[in-house]
Chain A
């Protein structure tokens, strides 16, 4: 199994809603990542978890809250988002940070209305 699975594939939420994005991998990878990708732009790193601990937070607003319940799962909790937060949110995993192949999920396309 060389897949990173993200759910949901699409999400539309209001600015007062609370929602969560989910990511799962069963490759035994110990590093997991959240990226944000706006249209026609490269992915931008948001968070890195290494061995289930948050190791990098790229100055992301607190309305985005990551969580790593175990080594296979990564969540991104969303609250009070703005329309400019609409983007493709990509999850990725790798054996370790900066090591080896990084596999990406298909992404969750988020629209904030």
Chain B
């Protein structure tokens, strides 16, 4: 079955870049997403990438997709304390199946 793996924790200094990694197993994934969840809040869609793209940039966020290795990464430039949150990678497939989430990476930003 489908599976999405993420490292559980990442700690960076304010102003540095953060890179959060994700691997997935199903090569038929059509969309790959990054969601941010702050404590006690719902999920905020940060960005997504179609499976036919290699890279997508949106302000401080850069998503890289390596389809051959089934590896997705989210780079946050100039990380701020407000970026501290849990980041979920998720995938969805063509057809009728909804999102499959990774376990989430807790990003801690040290001032």
- A residues contacting B by CB (< 8 A) are 6, 31, 33, 41-43, 45, 48, 50, 55-56, 88, 90, 92, 94, 97-107, 109
Cβ contact within 8 Å between A42 and B102: yes
A-B contact count (CB 8 A): 67
Cβ contact within 8 Å between A104 and B42: yes
Cβ contact within 8 Å between B101 and A31: no
Q: How far is the CB of B26 from chain A (nearest CB, A)?
A: 12
Cβ contact within 8 Å between B88 and A101: no
Chain B residue nearest to A104 in the complex (CB): B43
Complex: A97 Cα to B93 Cα, angstroms: 9
Complex: A1 Cα to B64 Cα, angstroms: 29
Cβ contact within 8 Å between B33 and A102: yes
A109: which of B40, B45, B94 is its contact (CB, 8 Å)?
B40
Closest 7 CB pairs of A and B: A42-B101, A106-B42, A104-B43, A107-B42, A98-B92, A104-B42, A97-B96
Query: Which residues of B are found within 8 Å of A104, using beta-carbon distances?
Result: 35, 42-45
Complex: A31 Cα to B104 Cα, angstroms: 24
Cβ contact within 8 Å between B96 and A98: yes
Q: How far is the CB of B7 from chain A (nearest CB, A)?
A: 14
**B21-35 vs A, Cβ < 8 Å mask (1 yes, 0 no):** 000000000110101
Complex: A105 Cα to B93 Cα, angstroms: 22
Q: List 8 A-B contacts (CB under 8 A).
A: A6-B42, A50-B96, A97-B92, A99-B92, A101-B48, A103-B45, A104-B44, A107-B42
Complex: A101 Cα to B49 Cα, angstroms: 10
Complex: A61 Cα to B31 Cα, angstroms: 30
A97: which of B33, B40, B98 is its contact (CB, 8 Å)?
B98
Cβ contact within 8 Å between A45 and B42: no
Q: How far is the CB of A56 from chain B (nearest CB, A)?
A: 7
Complex: A27 Cα to B95 Cα, angstroms: 21
Complex: A106 Cα to B94 Cα, angstroms: 26
Query: Which residues of B are found within 8 Å of A101, using beta-carbon distances?
Result: 33, 45, 48
